[in-house]
Amino acid sequence: MQVEMGHTTPFRAAAWVVLAALLGVWGCQSGKGSEPKPAPVPEVAAVTILPRQIELTTELPGRTSAFQVAEIRPQVNGIIQKLLFQEGSDVKAGQQLYQLDPAPFQVAYDSAKASLGKAQANLPSIRLRFERYGQLLAENAVSRQDYDDASAALEQARAEIQYWKTAVEAARINLNYTHISAPFSGRIGRTQVRTGTLVTAYQPAPLAVVQQLDPIYVDVVQSSAEMLRLRRSLESGELSADSENRRKVRLFLEDGTPYPLEGTLQFADVTVDPTTGSYSLRIVVPNPRHTLLPGMFMRAVVKEGVVEQAILVPQQGVSRNSKGQPVALIVDADEKVQQRILTLYRAIGDQWLVAAGLSGGERLIVEGMLNVRPGTTVKAVSLETGKQAREADGVDRKSAELKN
């Protein structure tokens, strides 16, 4: 028994050594496998900011109004004898619209002319008497009183002639007033009187209204706050005025259709409406086909100025912090995230025009912002590259789903 114990002990010891070695190797391998792997670098999509020149515009609501409006009223009393136009038609300047009964005015004119002729017929004899009395006075053949009476009679005859000349002219004017004409070319509306209607001089109600529609006005309103902001921007140099093109205005009809012809900004009102805090801008618009009618609603795109080095960024790349300030995340030269507080000027489409906080050449993060913080190292790819990768990943997933 002692010999057997002596032979088996070395064998068992060797087996335990081999087993311990195998356990050690397995333990080392299992220990290496449990070590944490390094976190992957987050990937973000960014756009490079490229300053460029843009033209700023503002869209304002407004309504059309006639270029000229004339309310047709009679200037003498009378009865409408004829209507010489078609309602709703175009009329020319000087075209006769109404005819009043001219008979009483013709009589007054003829009577004044007759009285003028009578006064003129008496003038030669009165002048000759005055001249004879002048010669006789030099010879003391007449008294000074007779000479003065002859002189006064001559002056009275001349004054009477002048009076009747004025009466003839007044009668002629009144006779002409029986022909009621259009003061300018335009379109006339419906008439308020018919043949046989008695009308009075300068009556409150017009007989009809003539409106000039080519060109036509578009009156738009803008807030006084916008006016002050624009003025400050021009004075500070943020905007540069383009005097040639700034007066040109694009127009849109009330259904959104662009009007084919550009308007011209004529003037801005000098008074602000205290109830609305706005003031009026008047635009002159060609209207050769009479597409625009007075009272129509329109939208005008007015040019404000030009920004030479404008920084436009996608709105999806701008968020708000807890204080409500607009902020953006950029990727610096070390591929780390930095936060910037922005000053926004205005929205242009789906982009923000940035007044301060960003510079040209910087990379703005527009996608993946929720996965990073300031100071995080990231892998920045262009926005287009990120879109292509997402599209390709989506196609691969759909293919895998179909195979399964």
Residues 328-342: pLDDT tens digits?
999 988 889 999 999
Residue 218 falls within a domain, yes or no? yes
Q: Same structural domain for residues 347 and 293? A: no
Average pLDDT over residues 363-371: 87
Report whether pLDDT(70) > 60: yes
pLDDT at 148: 87
β 208-223/186-188 pair status: antiparallel
Residue 1 falls within a domain, yes or no? no
The span from the CA of 332 to the CA of 313, in Å, is 17
Q: Same structural domain for residues 321 and 227? A: no
User: pLDDT tens, 5-61?
Assistant: 444 455 555 555 555 555 554 454 544 455 566 668 888 899 999 998 888 888 889
Q: Same structural domain for residues 287 and 321? A: no
Q: Same structural domain for residues 186 and 97? A: yes
Q: Same structural domain for residues 350 and 384? A: yes
User: pLDDT tens, 231-256?
Assistant: 776 666 666 666 566 678 899 999 98
CATH number at residue 377: 2.40.420.20
Average pLDDT over residues 218-222: 89
Segments forming the whole domain that contains residue 318 = 46-53+310-390
- Confidence tier at 404 by pLDDT (50, 70, 90): low
Query: How many structural domains is the chain composed of?
Result: 4
pLDDT at 137: 82
Residue 35 falls within a domain, yes or no? no
Q: What is the mean pLDDT of the chain?
A: 83
Residue 59 falls within a domain, yes or no? yes
Residue 27 falls within a domain, yes or no? no
Percent of the chain predicted with pLDDT > 70: 82
Q: Identify the domain boundary among 306, 339, 368.
A: 306
Q: Same structural domain for residues 294 and 324? A: no
Residue 21 falls within a domain, yes or no? no
Report whether pLDDT(324) > 70: yes
pLDDT at 3: 40
pLDDT at 16: 55
Residue 128 falls within a domain, yes or no? yes
Q: Same structural domain for residues 334 and 284? A: no
Q: Same structural domain for residues 218 and 248? A: yes
Q: Which residue has the higher pLDDT, 72 or 59?
A: 72
Q: Same structural domain for residues 197 and 136? A: no
pLDDT at 36: 60
CATH number at residue 183: 2.40.50.100
- Confidence tier at 280 by pLDDT (50, 70, 90): confident
Q: Identify the domain boundary among 306, 325, 350.
A: 306
pLDDT at 5: 44
Report whether pLDDT(173) > 80: yes
CATH number at residue 113: 1.10.287.470
Q: Same structural domain for residues 92 and 109? A: no
- Confidence tier at 287 by pLDDT (50, 70, 90): very high
Q: Identify the domain boundary among 306, 321, 346.
A: 306
User: pLDDT tens, 113-163?
Assistant: 999 999 999 999 999 988 888 888 888 888 888 888 888 999 999 999 999
Residue 38 falls within a domain, yes or no? no
Report whether pLDDT(364) > 60: yes
Residue 132, φ and ψ in degrees, nearest 5: -65, -40
CATH number at residue 260: 2.40.30.170
Q: Same structural domain for residues 359 and 264? A: no
Q: Same structural domain for residues 80 and 94? A: yes
